[in-house]
Structure 1
């Protein structure tokens, strides 16, 4: 391959797949180290010799192989250049080493570097109320900005949220984001199953409240250190949800397509489990209870209770969640 001027090639080993990945990047980026890999690309950290900052570089995974992957790559690029918010990852640069349209195959995105993703934090640390509240508040601020611009993220999960040592949080990976429209159903939705809202699973038209459901699942995971609804497949995902939160009432079931309604009614009937069983006292740090600022396990459960409503008509909006006492303290 004839490299364009001021580009060099660096091979990075993906420790998960055990394969070498070649990055063809400007010479300003050095000291590449593997960070993570996802459905849409592999990410490394690097040092930028021009700005002297550490950055994250994402090599898009075969962005033009399929029409769907090309759309995702385009969508992520457009949103990253559009969204400007302190809790949304910042795009610093974008480039391709290809020099003609006929050879155009590789796209790289350079973003600000954050130390950890939330998945790592959840499984390494027990979080106090102040930290839980602050992380949820920042997530909601990012989502509110996205919703105000008419977009739904649709794939919020711990691995799509990054944090640094100062607990500053940023949301990333916008390849599955969509503009709100009048008919959004499951066929148009491919977000991660564990964080997928009931209305999506059951094929109902859905709204931006699917993102609130995801944040509720993430909050429960931050408290319990385990996935709240670890469904093995889409049907088991619904079973997990309904067995914990209850079988929905007729008002909700009657909104389903006939085949969906028959399916839901054919399953065993479940009553709601108490939230002190869903997120037990033992999973909180009692010494961090702060009733004066509403940073208590009772308030955390109340926020969860309202974000994890099966019926989206009853579920909190992002404004409701930001005005809840458990998160409102962070906005003062």
Structure 2
């Protein structure tokens, strides 16, 4: 202890006591508390090093120009980062680490560009839970409002959610705009179908460079925390929500005409590409802006290319084509049937065939269209469920109603258009191209650019083969029980949705 006290005394004290300083090899740095009592190999006295450092820093810039051998690390400490460097994950980590979770402090380094890191969010994730606390037991991404998605998007609100996952309204901090961001459930089945949706959306986008087809526009897609994410344009309310605003009493005829022509335009384009939507309904047709009549057809998650149809249970019940109900092969004609049901509903405010189950659904169709042709019944795999000895098993009275009576007071050309769409035999049903030549469409007074043959022949069998088909599943969509419409807001930009997708961290 006495020896230690002598070492801590000042140089003047040592001189006064006539003590001989210890040899340099046993000198300690001031304040050094390690076990080894050795000086730095290149510096004899610590005071010299402290005096030299400020001079090196001050003259650093000129010494570099003169080819000085000053270590490069000293050079970078005084460099001011440019704007691009300030958006790197490493820079954000070094300056804003207190705003990142422990998981994010590692994750952020993988991103070349960081536009937003959730600095405005209250992050409450339990890292020990499913997928580091970011998923619930269903595989849905939990998300926190104001948090980031892929260090670029800020979640603002939930537009809707369903069996496929969630759709967020998000702000793109890189492009300064709002988008709809769909996060598919972290389950194999939904992920697989999501990849199909991405391929369909990419096909629809690349063949419509002028954006005249009235279909949902894909911005891009990527993976984030094991979830497939699909980014599309931010749109307004869907047609069902619009009907609710009019108390489910139908829309004005001129409004319906404008919407109907655009819907047929969209249908014609997708069929040019041999793409089946397979879930046409008011909830999947959205206004571009709330006070506009311009629409987009969304939710291509149930879709497929022609000859790649694999599901036997598709379409929402009210809009389900009879060939699907009867278990027959189906193709693009099912979209024409669904769209005809939508047009009738826009005029009256209520579904024309509001079946409580499939038996009731088919019975209601028979009330308007009489019995299906015998050749359809003979080829239907499910005919025995609905018919017995050529008669309906249900108590519905075939041919007891008519479309003309149901739409009484509406223009004759519009009623005729709907009648050509709601035909039992899909081979006798009007095609999208035939409908585009119907007097109702030809005589419309709206300046809408028609797609015509846009995209026709663009998709080859080789293109279709790029999609790996999911395993066959008899029940793809949950059966709706009874005449119940979704709550307001449900269905807005909802969809399910290959391709090797780019990781956003590399964009």
Task: Say whether 1:304 aligns with 2:421.
Answer: no
Q: Contact 2:201–2:218 at 8 Å: present in 1 too?
A: yes
Q: How many Å apart are 1:176 and its aligned residue?
A: 1.1
Could you tell me which residue of structure 2 aligns to residue 314 of structure 1?
A: 428
- Write the distance in 1 (CA, Å) between the matches of 2:399 and 2:373: 11
- Write the distance in 1 (CA, Å) between the matches of 2:371 and 2:356: 19
Q: Residues 264 and 88 (structure 1 numbering): CA distance in 2 closer, same or farther, change over 3 Å?
A: farther
CA shift digits 1:30-89 (9 cap, x unpaired): 361121223322212122232222211111123xx24x3232111011112221243111
- Write the distance in 2 (CA, Å) between the matches of 1:83 and 1:90: 8
Q: Residues 246 and 265 (structure 1 numbering): CA distance in 2 closer, same or farther, change over 3 Å?
A: same
Q: How many residues align?
A: 301
Could you tell me which residue of structure 2 aligns to residue 2 of structure 1?
A: 103
Task: Say whether 1:259 aligns with 2:384.
Answer: yes
Could you tell me which residue of structure 1 aligns to residue 294 of structure 2?
A: 168
Q: Give the structure with the larger strand fraction.
A: 1
Could you tell me which residue of structure 2 aligns to residue 191 of structure 1?
A: 315
* RMSD of aligned Cα (Å): 2.7
- Write the distance in 2 (CA, Å) between the matches of 1:262 and 1:274: 22
Could you tell me which residue of structure 1 aligns to residue 239 of structure 2?
A: 118
Show structure 2 runs of 5+ residues with no match: 1-101, 109-113, 124-139, 450-507
Q: Contact 1:199–1:206 at 8 Å: present in 2 too?
A: yes
Show structure 1 runs of 5+ residues with no match: 13-18, 99-104, 282-295
The farther-off stretch of 43-52 and 205-214 is 43-52
Q: Contact 1:11–1:21 at 8 Å: present in 2 too?
A: no
Could you tell me which residue of structure 2 aligns to residue 151 of structure 1?
A: 275
Structure 2 length-normalised TM: 0.55
Could you tell me which residue of structure 2 aligns to residue 101 of structure 1?
A: none
Q: Contact 1:254–1:261 at 8 Å: present in 2 too?
A: no
The farther-off stretch of 214-223 and 32-41 is 32-41
Structure 1 length-normalised TM: 0.81
Q: Residues 44 and 232 (structure 1 numbering): CA distance in 2 closer, same or farther, change over 3 Å?
A: same
Q: Which has the larger radius of gyration?
A: 2
Task: Say whether 1:203 aligns with 2:304.
Answer: no
CA shift digits 1:280-308 (9 cap, x unpaired): 43xxxxxxxxxxxxxx6222211111111
- Write the distance in 2 (CA, Å) between the matches of 1:155 and 1:200: 12
- Write the distance in 2 (CA, Å) between the matches of 1:11 and 1:205: 51
Task: Say whether 1:271 aligns with 2:364.
Answer: no
Higher relative CO (Cα under 8 Å, sequence separation at least 6) belongs to: 2
